[in-house]
Amino acid sequence: MRAEPAGEGNAAAVPLPKVAIVGRPNVGKSTLFNRLVRRRVAIVHPQPGVTRDRLEAAVTWRGRSFVLVDTGGLLDAVPREGMEGVVWQQASAAVQEASLLLLVVDVRDGAMALDRQLANWLRRSGKPSLLVVNKVDAPAHEAGIHEFAALGLGEGVPVSAASGRGVGELLDRILDLLGSRMPAQAPAPSPAGPPPVRIAIVGRPNVGKSSLVNAIVGQQRVAVDERPGTTRDAVDIDFEWQGRRISLVDTAGIRKRARPGARDVEQLAVARAFRAMSRSDVAIVLIDATEGVTFQDARLAGRAAELGLAVVLAVNKWDRIGRPDQSVERYVPEVRHAAGRLDWAPVHFISALEQWGVRELLRSALAAADRRARPLDPEIVRSCVDEAVRLRPPASPGRAAVRITGVRQVASRPPTLVLSVQGADRLDDAYLRYLERQLRSRIDLTGTPVRWAVRPVAKRRPALPASGHS
């Protein structure tokens, strides 16, 4: 399955040039990336090797725009094995796609042998390159930039990514070097239309989230490794599929609790994952078929529903359990019940590695997002609630009757309904669940949660008879 490139078929769309940031670990690449895009996208941490995927974000300066790409710290200028090889593959792909390359070095370390190797690698690419000398936090540090002339990339631009010093001059140099590669003016805003559907891929470590992202977009877009914890940043990937704009978010694996002695970088990654969920429309909760549904899977699905996201359950690695055409109907209730009794969530059995079931999963996620966003027919909602009350009135033991006097939808994303109730304090959650079951039997709300709110209504008192006057 290969995604259609964003903007395909739109002759007016002008692709933005890409500028890739490369360098050794811990020279401040992610800090510079965050500074240039003006928000905290990449995780910044003193531990080397935190960034592994390539992150992208648009930058606009003096009316011109380009896409900035952050990459992981490189330990060599040639392919390596293991996790270092995964990082190198992502950085190499960024270099191939970029129009301009930024080699970031640390003025405090001086020109190191690895800096020279990376400079030679960038020159061999044949693409324009710019040397960025980082951590020049004070004028006294500027004398050290001359040492980097030996790298052969010309005069370096001194900056302090941490404080912002020299960043304006760096942006000016980037625009000059991009030159004709940039559109004559910033691309015109897209015609008014629906925003992209944000789909977060969430799950425990090593359930196949990054493999699923790569299967959806049709390329090795994010790092995949058998060791858990490969993904740390929440990686946003924008693309178009069957006429729909989609923003796909690969998140870090979320454990029930941090591992003993877990580094705070892991905690930062999990925090980013939860923030990515809160900004999304749909959560695809990925479950490992070889391990079954765990308490943490149920917790993640429940958290997504609490946030108001549409939820789709995807049982991955099904190829290790049975054949693609194996009947799975008998497993669906078990998965739904184990995953927090989300009987309204669709369940898909897929193999991200073998790329089967992926297209149907994406189609299901988009449909769930549409149901989450649409307004409900008020007549159907009212008649459904009236009929449910007629069949089973709210319990009113020993006191005045609990009466539902009205219902209306007050919001979408997700559908939110307000009941007007006399005796609202005695309307229990079980009755609200009953009303929701009745509503779902009349309206297709597959994949989306429904929120209920209760508005107390005072019981009307009978009018007093008019007093007579003699």
| Residue 225 annotated as binding site | no
Rounded Cα gap, residues 233 and 44, in angstroms: 10
| Residue 34 annotated as binding site | no
* pLDDT score of 258: 47
Token representation of residue 241 = 């599929």
Rounded Cα gap, residues 428 and 398, in angstroms: 15
CB-CB contact of 144 with 115 (8 Å): no
* pLDDT score of 357: 92
The residue among 380, 389, 376 whose CA lies nearest residue 420 is 389
Our measurement of the distance from residue 449's CA atom to the centroid of its chain's CA atoms, rounded to an integer in Å, reads 19
The residue among 36, 67, 76, 70 whose CA lies nearest residue 50 is 70
DSSP state of 196: P
* pLDDT score of 138: 80
**The pTM is what?**
0.65
The residue among 271, 272, 214, 278 whose CA lies nearest residue 248 is 214
* pLDDT score of 370: 96
Q: Write out the chain's pLDDT in tens, 470 residues.
A: 544 433 333 333 457 899 999 988 888 888 898 888 876 544 433 444 444 456 788 888 888 889 899 888 777 666 555 556 667 778 888 888 899 999 999 999 888 999 999 999 999 999 999 999 999 888 777 778 888 988 989 888 999 988 888 889 999 999 999 986 665 544 444 445 678 999 998 888 888 888 898 888 876 654 434 444 444 444 678 888 888 999 888 776 555 554 444 455 445 545 666 777 888 999 999 999 888 888 888 888 888 999 999 999 999 999 888 655 566 777 788 787 777 678 899 999 999 988 889 999 999 999 999 999 999 999 999 999 999 999 999 987 666 788 999 999 999 999 999 999 998 888 999 999 999 999 999 999 999 999 999 999 887 655 555 555 54
| Residue 356 annotated as binding site | no
Residue 395's contacts (CB-CB under 8 Å, 6 or more residues apart) are 402, 426, 428, 431
Rounded Cα gap, residues 453 and 408, in angstroms: 10
* pLDDT score of 326: 60
| Residue 251 annotated as binding site | yes
Within a 10 A sphere around the Cβ of 96, how many other Cβ atoms?
11
Rounded Cα gap, residues 139 and 242, in angstroms: 54
| Residue 452 annotated as binding site | no
3-state SS assignment for residue 349: strand
| Residue 374 annotated as binding site | no
CA distances from 432 to 127, 240, 344, 396 (A): 62, 38, 15, 15
Based on its alpha-carbon atoms, the radius of gyration of the chain, rounded to whole angstroms, reads 28
Token representation of residue 2 = 């290969």
Residue 321's contacts (CB-CB under 8 Å, 6 or more residues apart) are 289, 290
What is the four-CA torsion angle of 433, 439, 443, 446, rounded to 10 degrees?
0
| Residue 74 annotated as binding site | yes
| Residue 319 annotated as binding site | yes
| Residue 70 annotated as binding site | yes
Within a 10 A sphere around the Cβ of 111, how many other Cβ atoms?
20
| Residue 127 annotated as binding site | no
3-state SS assignment for residue 200: strand
| Residue 137 annotated as binding site | yes
| Residue 214 annotated as binding site | no
| Residue 139 annotated as binding site | no
| Residue 72 annotated as binding site | yes
| Residue 136 annotated as binding site | yes
Instruction: State the Cα angle at 437 between 435 and 441, rounded to 5°.
Output: 115
CB-CB contact of 350 with 314 (8 Å): yes
3-state SS assignment for residue 35: helix
State the DSSP string of 358-422: HHHHHHHHHHHHHHHHSPPPHHHHHHHHHHHHHHSPPP-TTSSPPEEEEEEEEETTTTEEEEEEE
| Residue 316 annotated as binding site | yes
Rounded Cα gap, residues 252 and 268, in angstroms: 10
Taking each helix axis from N to C end, the angle separating 429-442 and 378-391, rounded to the nearest 10 degrees, works out to 130
State the DSSP string of 291-323: T---HHHHHHHHHHHHTT-EEEEEEE-GGGTS-
* pLDDT score of 224: 39
Domains in the chain, CATH or no CATH each = 18-181 (3.40.50.300), 197-373 (3.40.50.300), 378-456 (3.30.300.20)
| Residue 294 annotated as binding site | no
The residue among 191, 213, 194 whose CA lies nearest residue 202 is 213
Rounded Cα gap, residues 315 and 251, in angstroms: 17
